[in-house]
Amino acid sequence: MSGNASARLCDMTVHELQGMLARGQVSSREITCDVLARMDEVEASIGAYVTIDREESLRSADAADAAIARARRDGDLGSVGELAGIPVALKDNVCTHGMRTTCCSKMLENFIPPYDATVAERLRAAGAVIVGKTNMDEFAMGSTTETSIFHVTRNPWDPGRVPGGSSGGCAAAVAAGEAAAAIGSDTGGSIRQPASFCGVVGMKPTYGRVSRYGVVAFSSSLDTIGPVTRDVHDCAIMLNAIAGRDERDSTSAPDAVPDYSEYVDRGVRGLRIGMPKEFFGPGMSDGVRSVVERAVRALESAGARIVEVSIPLVEHALAVYYLVATAEASSNMARLDGIRYGYRPEGRADVDVADLMSLSRGQSFGMEVKRRIMLGTFVLSSGNFDSFYGRALRSRRLLKEEVERALTECDCLASPTAPTVAFRFDEEPDDPLAMYLQDIYTTLANLAGVPAISVPCGFANEMPVGLQIMGRMFDEGTLIQVGRAVELGSGIGGRRPVVGGCAK
Which of the residues 143, 167, 185, 190 is marked catalytic?
190
Q: Tell me, rounded to whole angstroms, the distance of Cα 417 from its chain centroid.
A: 13
Q: Is 454 a catalytic residue?
A: no
pLDDT of res. 282: 86
Strands ordered across the beta sheet of 87-91: 49-52, 129-134, 87-91, 181-186, 224-229, 201-204, 452-460, 463-471, 412-416, 272-276, 305-309
* Distance from the first to the final alpha carbon of the chain: 8
Q: Is 301 a catalytic residue?
A: no
pLDDT in tens, the chain (504 residues): 334 445 899 999 999 999 999 999 999 999 999 999 999 999 999 999 999 999 999 999 999 999 999 999 999 988 899 999 999 999 999 999 999 999 999 999 999 999 999 999 999 999 999 999 999 999 999 999 999 999 999 999 999 999 999 999 999 999 999 999 999 999 999 999 999 999 999 999 999 999 999 999 999 999 999 999 999 999 999 999 999 999 999 999 999 999 999 999 999 999 999 999 999 988 899 999 999 999 999 999 999 999 999 999 999 999 999 999 999 999 999 999 998 889 999 877 678 889 999 999 999 999 999 999 999 999 999 999 999 999 999 999 999 999 999 999 999 999 999 999 999 998 876 667 667 677 899 999 999 999 999 999 999 999 999 999 999 999 999 999 999 999 999 988 778 898 865 544
The domains located in the chain, with CATH, are: 9-311+404-490 (3.90.1300.10)
Q: Is the omega angle on the peptide bond into residue 166 within 30 degrees of 0, that is, cis?
A: yes
Give me the phi and psi of 373, to 5 degrees please: -65, -45
Q: Is 285 a catalytic residue?
A: no
Which of the residues 27, 28, 60, 166 is marked catalytic?
166
pLDDT of res. 3: 40
How far are the Cα atoms of 32, 335, 350, 353 from residue 359, in angstroms, in the given order?
Answer: 43, 15, 12, 10
pLDDT of res. 351: 83
Q: Tell me, rounded to whole angstroms, the distance of Cα 18 from its chain centroid.
A: 22
Q: Which residues pair with 91 in a beta bridge?
A: 134
Contact (CB, 8 A) for 134 and 140: no
Would you tell me how many other CB atoms lie within 10 Å of the CB of residue 286?
Answer: 8
Which stretches of 40-110 are assigned E, i.e. beta strand? 49-52, 87-91
pLDDT of res. 502: 58
pLDDT of res. 428: 74
Element (H, E) at 468: strand 463-471
pLDDT of res. 434: 64
Spell out the SS3 assignment of 127-186: CCEEEEEECCCHHHCCCCCCCCCCCCCCECCECCECCCCCCHHHHHHHHHCCCCEEEEEE
Task: Summarize pLDDT for 464-493 with one digit per residue, the tens.
Answer: 999 999 999 999 999 999 999 999 999 887
Q: What count of Cα atoms within 13 Å lies in the side-chain half-sphere of residue 470?
A: 28
Which of the residues 28, 60, 91, 504 is marked catalytic?
91
Task: Summarize pLDDT for 377-420 with one digit per residue, the tens.
Answer: 999 999 999 999 999 999 999 999 999 999 999 999 999 999 99
What's the chain's length in residues?
504
